[in-house]
Each structure stands twice: as structure tokens, then as C-alpha cells.
Amino acid sequence: MAAMFGGAILGFALGKIMPEKYRGAPTERIVQNAVRMISLLSLLVLGLLVASAKSKFDTSDSQSVHFAANLMLLNSELVNYGPETDDIKSLLKKFAVAEIAETWNLKNGPRPDADDPPTLQLVESIQQKLLMMTPASEYQRAMARSASQIVADIVNARWLRSALVSDHSPQAFVWVLTAWLSILFVAFGLFAPPNLVTIAALLVCALSMCGAIGLILDLDKPFMGIVTVSPEPMLYALAKISVSPLKRAK
């Protein structure tokens, strides 16, 4: 915002010292045409950045819901397999807690114990224990096969989310957009009368532009900031995983 509003103040200052011969209608018309062209380019870039950031946010939100659903489905398959999977269910609960704490870092959210392994090690332990199981029936064999596939999907989704979060909008676009907007504000102030109404209008405009850029940067980091992906699906999944089969039956 400082760059844009500072551009307007610079425009006011340049307007005061600009020689009278440059204040004619032809000069003002050329400046207005240049401003329209830069405005159009800025609008296009702003629209692209908003669309890109919103698409990333929506994808992250969808992945989070799918991830939580897979955790509940895996827990259901382990329950159906039998009591032999109690240790795996315990690892799954620890994994869900660690994943929530690592992704959202909620102030009053669940926290892993100090001696709990990291999330990647937990999910690898789950995979290993599933492979080491010896099903006693065709039904258990089907449950074990399904659980192994779900764990593979969870690992894949986790890596996809990590890659998506690390893929930020090109900073060059943001800097170029800021530069263009600053040039526009210089042009606005160049021929504008320096009164309180004009200054207030340009200040509001600068705040609006700053808010739009801030929204882009916030949506580009879907798990931190003001607008974040909701942790509710994962918290709901953790609550379901934490319920014992006996309580669930009741």
C-alpha cells in the first residue's frame, strides 16, 4: 500500500512542479491512454493471480477432505479385520494427531506426545505392520488388501499436498503488478487537484488494491494466514478414530 499511495503523493508533487506547457489537453490525453493500457494489463494479471490462488486453495481443501475420509475408511477396515489390528489403530490415531498438529498448528488442537515418532515414520510403520499381518480367512485377506491400498493412497495424498503447498504463485507477477499499480497512482496524482477528497479517494483505492494482493498471498498459503483450509474434517476423522468399537456399537 505504501508503494501505491506513495506513488499518488509523488504524482501530486510532480504535478505542482510540472511546467505549464505540459499541462495541456494533448498531454493529459496521452497520459490517460497510457493509464488505461496499464490498468488493463494490471486487471488481467490480478485476475490470473486470484484465479490461480483460489484454485490452489480449493484443491488443498478438497485434498484435506479426501485425506480425512481415507483415515476413517482405513480405521473401519482395521476394525472389521479384528482385534489383531489394535496396535495399528493406535498408530493411526497418533498419525492423525501428528498430521493435524503439523499442518494447522492449532492453539487448542490435539498435540502428539513428546516421544511419538514423526508423521512419516508413523505411516511407514502402519504400512509395515499391514504387510506383516497373516490373515486367517479370505475376509481378513480382503480387509488387509483394502487397508494396504488405502494407506498407499494416504501416503500419495500427503506427498501431493506437500508439493502443492510448496508451489507458490510466481513472486515476479506480484512485484510487476505492484509496480504497475504504483505507476497508475503516480498518473492519478499528476493531474488531480491535491485536496482532501482526492487524497481520501486514492487512499481507499490503495487500500482496496492492497487487500486484493494480500488475499492472493493469503490464499497461496492455504494452511496458514487469515483464510485457511478448515481442519474440521481432520478433527472429525480423529474423533471417529478415537472411538472404540464397543462405544461405536452402542
C-alpha cell at 219: 490464499
Query: What is the rounded CA–CA span in Å between residue 139 and residue 179?
Result: 64
What is the b/e burial string over 233-247, where b = at least 16 CB atoms within 10 angstroms of the residue's CB? Answer: bbbebbeebeeeeee
Query: What is the rounded CA–CA span in Å between residue 102 and residue 162?
Result: 12
Q: What is the pLDDT of residue 145?
A: 93
Segment (H or E) for 91: helix 86-103
Beta strands in the chain (DSSP E): none
249 located within any domain? no
199 located within any domain? yes
Q: What is the pLDDT of residue 21?
A: 73
Give residue 81's identity as a one-letter amino acid code. Y
Our count of domains for the chain comes to 1
Cα 138 to chain center, whole Å? 43
37 located within any domain? yes
56 located within any domain? yes
* Residue 172, domain extent: 2-243
Residue 248 has pLDDT above 60, yes or no: no
Segment (H or E) for 16: helix 2-17
Count the Cβ atoms, other than its own, within 10 Å of residue 17. Answer: 6
Cβ–Cβ < 8 Å for 160, 76? no
223 located within any domain? yes
pLDDT tens digits for range 73-121: 999 999 999 999 999 999 999 999 999 998 897 888 888 888 888 888 9
250 located within any domain? no
Residue 1 has pLDDT above 70, yes or no: no
What number of helices (H) and strands (E) belong to the chain? 9, 0
73 located within any domain? yes
The three-state (H, E, C) secondary structure of 181-214, written as one string: HHHHHHHHHHHCCCCHHHHHHHHHHHHHHHHHHH
pLDDT tens digits for range 38-56: 889 888 888 888 898 899 8
> pTM value?
0.80
Cα 96 to chain center, whole Å? 20
248 located within any domain? no
191-196, Cβ contacts within 8 angstroms, sequence gap of 24 or more: 191/15, 191/23, 191/28, 191/31, 192/11, 192/12, 192/15, 194/12, 194/15, 194/16
- The residue behind cell 500427503 is 158
